[in-house]
Structure 1
Amino acid sequence: MGIYLSTPKTEKFSEDGENSRLRFGLSSMQGWRSTMEDAHSVVPDLDASTSFFGVYDGHGGKVVAKFCAKYLHQQVLRHEAYLARDIGTSVQKAFFRMDEMMRGQRGWRELAVLGDKMDKFTGMLEGLIWSPRSGDKKDQVDDWSFEEGPHSDFSGPTSGCTACVAIIRDNQLIIANAGDSRCVISRNGQAYNLSRDHKPDLEVERERILKAGGFIHAGRVNGSLNLARAIGDMEFKQNKFLPADKQIVTASPDINVVELCGDDEFVVLACDGIWDCMSSQQLVDFIREELKSENKLSVVCERVLDRCLAPSTAGGEGCDNMTMIIVQFKKPTQLGTSIDEQSSASEDVHVESKPADSGS
């Protein structure tokens, strides 16, 4: 069936971890798709008081998602705003920085390695040359230099990925999202969406797309992409007279900052392969029920993936790659502002923070 396999690949990559503040579990599965294009990043100790989690859902290939999983959290650390404790600005700049880094000779080389497009020896050699050294310090300057070479004019990949990132520092949760992967928090059993799916038919997205010279057909940007924001997809970012956040498709993330409180139980990050099958509230209910008898968070994630996997490719839903991360808070945090107060304060980034409905 073209993009689908005859039988799904149900083998899972799963991982668990913890520190003094939180514990996490994750699982990812290729499913019915002919290739695995999801990637993820978990850095429980980005620094002494900060944790980083991200899911990246690729389209048109896996390389941009893998690039973001490798480099985005590093760029958050390296931006000067991070040192000033302005995480929202540093993560926003990191999203844009991904597009910049994937251009030119060096960007082409790194994407070629991540895409396994070179022979085994060359790929290994380039990986050693272009990968960050294990001794790199977080306070080093960004030294991603422009390289002369046969691909110096490479404008960046035509494939792309969504990016949904959760950064936890002390009592603060910072969500950055571009695309339709989603972050949801369970507050005393109630699901609250902390990100918004960026679809082309949303008014603010449609307005930008049309102003930049694009069009929407059958719910897709230029009849092709069913997302209004993504990293990569450089064919939609070619207007030299417009800044990066005004292009037909933009990597600009919505930023939502939440003060955690004692009722907060866990956060879920997942690609749309999960949300196509379960609503935010349904997923929170399922996780809470599983946690009554299962302590290992990755096992809970695996059970969600199995529940969402379709029995056949006839319907479409449940046939996508699936990646999911659960981050559970270990101890009660200080009482923060209410979700409703945060919702009104976050209107400028259009984050829907009302209770998620129970429909699918």
Structure 2
Amino acid sequence: MNELTSNNLVNAVWLGFILIGISLFFTAYYFRRQSKRLNSALSRLYELNQNCNQDALDFFDQAWKVLQSVGCERLQANIEWFGERKSVVQGAAVKARLVSKSYLVSREDMRFEMIVYMKRGASQHESVSSLVIKTFLNVLDQDLVLKQAEILTSQKRLERYQLFVQHEIKNIAQFIQLLSEQVKTVDSDENKVKLVNRLYGTLPIMAKRARKTVEHMQQPLSEFYEGHVETIKDLLVDVAQMYGLEVEIKGNVSTNLPKQVLVEVFKNILGNFRDHPSSNKPIQISISQETLTESIKINILSEKVTDDVLMPERMFEPFWTTSESGMGLGLFLSRELLKQVDGKIHFYQNDGTEFGFLIELPGLVTLNDKI
């Protein structure tokens, strides 16, 4: 009887060891699998960021598949990118028993507000999902730091006003290059007469523009912001003629904001319509102001007849451009200049058929009437 009990005890011990061994094996297998899953997800994030050239917007748009693979069910985000706003929703509709967590990644003019929905188990502090999300946020933050450093480095290398002059010199150089190409293609007396007549109207404008650029380079920065009473319509007409653009302008308002600031803003905005022509119809511009103390609104609108994809969130990002000859500074500089005079600028699209810019300027408090 004692021998039987002893054998049962031994068998029970062995069975216990076997169960413990099996349990340890599956535990090790589970952690090994989770570790491989974590390493794979992290590697994919880092590789994706490199493939996106550490561009925060591209990385954010493409990272969802990685987050989804580790248990994230839905991602909602509000993005503010250099003054433009964008809402993003990824994944399925919100279901019951999902846990939501909010995150914020922000650097100056770049801001990501996010809500991530996960299954309850995936939301645990040290789960694979939480670790991958934490890495995703760190990578996104580093991309913003790099973008910020790029801008700061540029600003240290070139003062803001020097950027305006450089941008203007580029435009004058493009005009000279275009003129050179037109001269090469003239093959008849009739075309020569047409070219001379065209130059008769445009060369004085470009010469005046070149003189002003030289004057600006010699002018103290403080004078750039001096204001005199100007009519906005006249400034827009001058810039449109400078670029050879057809415009139809409704309304007119006087302003005592600095003329050079407004001219630079209008040149940078209308320059985009010149560099990226989208319609043969004139550009529609409306100028309005309800009362002298209210803001002046300038709406610049054009039809969209090409298949080019317009990306509102990229419009005011410095050094981002789809033009081979552009620097990606025009709209960014317009926005920065408008900030100096408490103005604003927004890009908008209407059903994919029209697009434009809305400029808001502070109202007058010193003038007695509108023009």
* Higher helix fraction (1 or 2): 2
After TM superposition, the score normalised by the length of structure 1 is: 0.22
Larger radius of gyration: 2
Per chain length, whose mean CA-contact separation is higher, i.e. which structure has more relative contact order (CA < 8 Å, sep 6+)?
A: 1
* Higher strand fraction (1 or 2): 1
After TM superposition, the score normalised by the length of structure 2 is: 0.21
